[in-house]
Amino acid sequence: MKGKKKGMQAEDFDIEPLKKSKSDKVVPVKLTESSRFKFRCHKGVKCFTACCSNINIVLPPYDLLRLRKRLGMTTEDFINQYGEIEILAKTLLPVITLKMGTDEKKSCPFVTPDGCTVYEDRPSNCRYYPAGMATLRKKDAEGGKDEFYFMVKEDHCKGFEEDKDWTVAEWRKDQGADLYDDMNRGWMEILIKKKSFGEKEFPEIKNRMFFMVSTNTDYFREFVFGSSFLDTYDIPQERIEKVRTDDAELLKLGYEWLRSAMFAEETLKIKDGVADARKDRADAVLRKVYGGQNKEG
Ligand code: SF4
Ligand code: SF4
């Protein structure tokens, strides 16, 4: 169906597509936004909906948010009915993937003979195909990373035989991929950063924080406004008001908080006095444990 994603797997978040020979579906050519290709997916193609089964679709935060809002479901209900919790390879972080059906084909729960029933809110992966995006860490590139595109071609996909010409940028605009990328970019950067730590496991509390921001905006909002969060971090009042009602702004705050908590980055400013108070509390605990002496004492 139009915009249907194929071939990207959970491990494609590895962002090394040109190195991977794990799939010969990836054409090993780096593309730019102005690269051209022929493709069209519509109800008249012989393979219509053939690609909407037996696929591993990771749901980044904005994808999950859009889907569950469309269906009017809480995060918990969505995960129970449509999701699975997976530990993402090489990051060891928990993510939600879309649960395929139990039929022989393992169909996506949203596919029908007429196409995708959640089309306007379909996941990023379903929007990208056949033009995938990748990011490589590269010291000499701007911002230390190199973003580019690549083509995924699958034998059964007849869309490449259609006579419609696109640039990669035109395709992405048509599919609404840029908005999804903007909303999920901070999350992807956290995955990339975590991957750079190798197989090192983080404390469980950090995984829980990651999972809360990634999956449950309602709960994270309650946390921001119902805990000592706003007493701890110096956040402009105007931004606080936006976070109260704007899910996109809430997600961005969540990504900054995660970077601060998981990697000790200075993405959020701690309020004056809070750091001193924390140090005083830590010193008091040490005094209690070590009987009035510090660790070295
Ligand atoms: S296989 Fe290709 S042309 Fe066929 S429905 Fe999927 S994306 Fe469209
Ligand atoms: S969400 Fe829609 S486009 Fe994506 S696999 Fe399912 S039916 Fe296909």
Q: Which ligand is nearest to the CA of 155?
A: 1
pLDDT category of residue 144 using cuts at 50, 70 and 90 = low
Instruction: Give yes or no for residue 116 CB within 6 A of ligand 2.
Output: yes
* Residue range(s) defining the domain that contains residue 244: 216-297
83-125 confidence digits (pLDDT tens): 999 999 888 999 999 999 999 999 999 999 999 999 999 999 9
Q: Which ligand is nearest to the CA of 97?
A: 2
**For the chain, what is the domain count?**
2
Instruction: Give yes or no for residue 108 CB within 6 A of ligand 2.
Output: yes
68 and 174 assigned to the same domain: yes
Residues with Cβ within 8 Å of 189's Cβ and at least 6 positions away in sequence, in order, are: 255, 259
Q: How many residues does the chain have?
A: 297
25 and 163 assigned to the same domain: yes
Mean pLDDT of 202-219: 94
CA of 125 to the centre of ligand 2 (A): 9
142 and 234 assigned to the same domain: no
Least trusted range by pLDDT, from 6-20, 210-224, 256-270 = 6-20
CA dist 165 and 170 (Å) reads 9
What residues form DSSP beta bridges with 222? none
Instruction: Give yes or no for residue 50 CB within 6 A of ligand 1.
Output: yes
Confirm whether 200 is domain-assigned: no
CA dist 93 and 113 (Å) reads 35
Confirm whether 189 is domain-assigned: no
Query: If you take atom 1 of ligand 2, which residue's CA is the nearest one?
Result: 122
96 and 233 assigned to the same domain: no
Element (H, E) at 93: strand 93-98
Residues with Cβ within 8 Å of 248's Cβ and at least 6 positions away in sequence, in order, are: 62, 183
| Count of beta carbons in the 10 Å neighbourhood of residue 249 | 15
DSSP conformation class of 143: G
pLDDT over 80 at 136, yes or no: no
Instruction: Give yes or no for residue 110 CB within 6 A of ligand 2.
Output: yes
CA of 189 to the centre of ligand 2 (A): 25
DSSP codes, 238-266: HHHHHHHH-HHHHHHHHHHHHHHHHH---
233 and 144 assigned to the same domain: no
Q: Identify which has the larger pLDDT, 164 or 155.
A: 164
156 and 227 assigned to the same domain: no
Last residue of a domain, one of 184, 202, 225: 184
Residues with Cβ within 8 Å of 214's Cβ and at least 6 positions away in sequence, in order, are: 60, 61, 64, 94, 95, 96, 187
Distances 18 to 24, 131, 132, 233, 259 between C-alpha atoms, Å: 10, 13, 11, 41, 28
